[in-house]
């Protein structure tokens, strides 16, 4: 499964990383460090990645491949 964080929508609240800090790594300013790129979700981390996606108030995270 892969996800993508929309860099224009991400406001740096870091709620995604609360549920999955492996997939959603934050930069020094609290923004997703890989915004704009497709991120490969590690096997077994799909549920955590989905929880992180749902926690985003801007809905900046989308599943691009499942």
CATH number for the domain spanning 34: value is 3.30.70.20
Domains contained in the chain, number? 1
d(C-alpha 24, C-alpha 51), whole Å = 11
Which range marks the domain in which residue 41 is found? 2-65
Three-class DSSP category at 42 = coil
Confidence of residue 66 (pLDDT cuts 50, 70, 90): low
Question: What pLDDT digit, counting tens, does each position of 4-56 carry?
Answer: 999 999 999 999 999 999 999 999 999 999 999 999 999 999 999 999 999 99
The CA-based diameter of the chain, rounded to the nearest angstrom, is 29
pLDDT number for residue 65: 78
pTM of the model: 0.91
């Amino acid at each position: 499964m892969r996800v993508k964080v929309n860099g224009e929508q991400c406001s740096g609240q870091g709620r995604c990383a609360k549920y999955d800090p492996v997939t959603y790594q934050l930069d020094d300013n609290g923004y997703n460090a890989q915004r704009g790129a497709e991120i490969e979700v590690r096997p077994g981390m799909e549920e955590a990645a989905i929880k992180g996606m749902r926690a985003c108030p801007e809905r900046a995270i989308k599943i691009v491949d499942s």
